[in-house]
Amino acid sequence: MKHGLYSCDIYLIVKDKNGQQIAQKKVASELPDELVFGRHLGELKWLSNNEVALFNCSRTNYISVQLK
């Protein structure tokens, strides 16, 4: 998450067990207010061995990253 004065960018970042970043995907860009961007932050869940998803707060939508 990059939190600035005028925006908050939310990213789904996957790292390997050595801490190396292996995937990144932008989830949303919102106003820097937790009541606004908080709706994007729900459950983080592995959908398979190669796909992880961040569900929104109400669990109606998600953004996923598929690993190679």
Number of folded domains in the chain? 1
pLDDT (tens digit, 9 = 90+) per residue, 3-18? 666 778 889 999 999 9
pLDDT exceeds cutoff 70 at 30: yes
For residue 1, name the pLDDT band (cuts at 50, 70, 90): low
Q: pTM of the predicted model, to two decimals?
A: 0.70
7-29 in b/e burial notation, b at 16+ Cβ within 10 A? ebebebeeeeeeeeeeeeeebbe
48 phi/psi in degrees, rounded to 5: -160, -175
Q: Which domain holds residue 52?
A: 2-66
pLDDT exceeds cutoff 90 at 33: no
